[in-house]
Amino acid sequence: MGLHDAVWTRVILFFMRWLPAPVFTVMAYPLAALVYVLAAEPREAVRANLSALIPGRGASSWAGYQVFLQFAFTYLDRLWHLHFQREIDWEINGKEGFDVLQKHEGGALIFTVHSGNYDIGAGLFARKFSRPIHTVRAPEASASLQELRGEELRDEERREPNLHIHYNEPGGHLGMELCRLLMAGEVVCVQGDRVMGDVTPTYVGIDGVTYKIPRGPLVLAEVTSVPCYPVFLSRRGRLAYRIDIGEPFYIGGRKARAAEIGAAWLPVMHRFLLQHWDQWFVFERLVTRDPA
């Protein structure tokens, strides 16, 4: 499947050179529907998550399709931006939090989720930020797709000197490297919502809902005692995005257990996902609703 993803990406890039953008926007609707029908396991995972998150309508086929459609739109935006240098229209909400983070002396953790467009959002944040920022990604599912995405992201790093991308390789020691960076006063961006591969999970509940989230970022915050800021991305329209920057949910400077930091992070994430459930691009079952 990863090989086909890489091949289809190159095919789409070929046609994007000649066809106007509105054509691909229209084509996204039937193609997203086709993928939604064929991709049974991801489809059911999305529906299960939405059913727990927004009971009563989350399990509908229409709600699940909305997630696949928004993912298709962000995929196209990503290609237009990274390969054809189309500019993104950004709206930034929470400039006060951004200024505080920018002026903070010492390391800091940025927590985000799989929404909007992580790749182009990281590039913009690095451009606006006056400090280096280190982002964490999981490797792609296949060598061919990793080669393609790696080439794209290396180009983005060249365009944005403050952006540094790290891969969470199985069996690697990325946690130790991120800890070193934070203790040296650097800013690290992690995704605090998705558990996949050999990532260690933890379970945190709110409002009758239990989330399965990665434990690693919480342990990193516990060990380093740096402040943790929430930053969320959402899509407003074609090549138009919004960044929401909140106040720190953990101010750092004192020892707190990973469980305590997770309990502080969860309400912030949960509130965002309730508002932007159609842009939560996780295709594994991560949310369950507790028995009544």
pLDDT per residue as tens digits for the range 9-30: 888 888 888 888 889 899 999 9
In angstroms, the CA 251 to CA 230 distance is 12
In angstroms, the CA 248 to CA 251 distance is 6
Angle at 89 between CA 86 and CA 152, to 5 degrees: 40
Predicted local distance difference test score (pLDDT) of residue 98? 82
292 pLDDT above the threshold of 90: no
Give 197: exposed, middle or buried? Use CB within 10 Å, 0-12, 13-18, 19+: exposed
Q: Which of 220, 269, 221, 272 is nearest to 242 (CA)?
A: 272
CB 192 within 8 A of CB 114: no
Where residue 227 falls among pLDDT bands split at 50, 70, 90?
A: very high
pTM of the model: 0.91
User: Which residue has better confidence, 100 or 221?
Assistant: 221
Q: Give percent of the chain with pLDDT exceeding 90.
A: 56
1 pLDDT above the threshold of 60: no
In this structure, what token pair is assigned to residue 15? 């046609």
Angle at 64 between CA 63 and CA 66, to 5 degrees: 65
In angstroms, the CA 207 to CA 255 distance is 27
Angle at 104 between CA 102 and CA 107, to 5 degrees: 100
Predicted local distance difference test score (pLDDT) of residue 123? 78
**Sequence ranges of the domains in the chain:** 2-289
Q: Give percent of the chain with pLDDT exceeding 70.
A: 93
2 pLDDT above the threshold of 60: no
Q: Which of 264, 283, 125, 109 is nearest to 181 (CA)?
A: 109
Average pLDDT over residues 124-142: 80
Lowest mean pLDDT segment, chosen from 130-139, 177-186, 201-210: 130-139
Half-sphere exposure in the Cβ direction for 44 (13 Å, CA): 3
Average pLDDT over residues 85-108: 87
Q: What are the Cα distances from residue 150, in Å, to 9, 45, 59, 91, 265?
A: 14, 27, 35, 27, 30
243 pLDDT above the threshold of 50: yes
User: Which residue has better confidence, 129 or 200?
Assistant: 200
Cα 119 versus chain centre, distance: 8
DSSP letter (8 states) at residue 198: T
